[in-house]
Amino acid sequence: MKTVFVNPEKCIGCRHCEVACAIEHSQSKDLFKMFEEVPLSEPRIHVEVGVDFLTFPNRCRHCDPAPCMQVCPTNALERDEKTGSVIVNYNKCIGCTACAMACPFGIIQFKQVYQVKLAREVNAKCDNCIERQKAGKEPACVEACKTGALEFGDVNDLIRVSRKDFTVRMIKSQGTEVEVPKIPVNVQSFRDVMAQVAAIGPFRED
């Protein structure tokens, strides 16, 4: 099964994935034209700050079975068997928000989309860039990510890389007091400084 795998420690909050997502879901698919479109295309992936200025790119996980599909009274949510994607049939969506209540990741949003001619808001969540996938391309957010925070591939392959990485770190760290860092020292020291800034600033966690 192919999926977009998130390596949260590599997300640096640039929001390039958000921009790429909005472009991909616009009519023109062009950065310089899309802002003239009505309705405006908006990102379906969300990079938000957790604590200490650290970020996580949150998008639809395309669950199976998908809670959103299970609760949808109009069967507006459908599974694309080939890619495993959960797709919204916008014209069937009645905007009841039951899917958003069921979603474990809080990623469902209601927006106007150009595919629906009426000015009503529908579930405009991530469609896994199904058109791109059909054309043999990876999702737009993954293509935009330059740090490897978002990766596309067979889920077990991607997990295997993480597993191997962990194994190497475990072995290398064995018998020493110093843990082999997964994150470059300079990036880690920046994050340490920002954690301190967060501790004395308005975003301090109570």
Partner 1 sequence: MYIDPLVAQKEAEKRALDKTDQEIIEKAMHDGVETAWDRLAKQQPQCGFGQLGICCNRCTMGPCRIDPFGDGPKRGVCGATADLIVARNLLDDLAVGAAAHSDHGREVLEVLLDTAEGKSQGYQIIDEEKLGTIAAEYDIGTEGKSKEEIAREVALAMLEEFGTIKNRIQFADRAPEKTGEMWKGAGITPRSVDREIVESMHRIHMGVGADYANILLHGLRTSLSDGWGGSMMATDASDILFGTPTPNSSWVNLGVLSKDEVNVVLHGHNPVLSEMIVKAANDPELKKLAEEKGAKGINLVGMCCTGNELLMRHGIPIAGNMLDQELAIATGAVEVMVIDYQCIFPSITATASCYHTKVVATSEKSKVSGAIYKEFRPETALDSSKEIIRMAIENFPNRNPDRVKIPDKPIKMMAGFSEEAIRNALGGSYKPLIDAIVSGKIKGAVGVVGCNNPKIKHDYGHVMLGKELIKRNILVVETGCAAIASGKAGLLLPEAADMAGEGLKSVCKALGIPPVLHMGSCVDCSRILMLGANIAKELGVGIEDLPLGGAAPEWYSQKAVSIASYFVASGVYTVLGIPPKIFGSPNVVDLLTNKLDGVVHATFAVEPDPVKAADLLEAAIEKKRKALGI
Q: How many residues bind partner 1 (CB under 8 A)?
A: 31
Q: Classify the phi-psi angles of 128: left when phi > 0, otherwise alpha if psi is within -120 to 50, otherwise beta.
A: left
Q: Which is nearer to partner 1, 54 or 63 (CB)?
A: 54
Binding letters toward partner 1, positions 45-84, x by CB under 8 A: --xxx---x-x-----------------------------
- Tell whether residue 98 is a contact of partner 1 (CB under 8 A): no
Task: Establish if 114 lies at the interface with partner 1 (CB under 8 A).
Answer: no
- For partner 1, the binding residue among 43, 147, 157, 167 (CB under 8 A) is 147
39 binds partner 1 (CB under 8 A): no
Whichever of 94 and 197 has its CB closer to partner 1, that residue is 197
When asked if residue 29 is in the footprint of partner 1 (CB under 8 A), the reply is no
Kindly tell me which of 28 and 189 has the beta carbon lying closer to partner 1: 189
Q: How far is the CB of 9 from partner 1 (least distance, A)?
A: 9
User: Cα(14)–Cα(144) distance, rounded to whole angstroms?
Assistant: 10
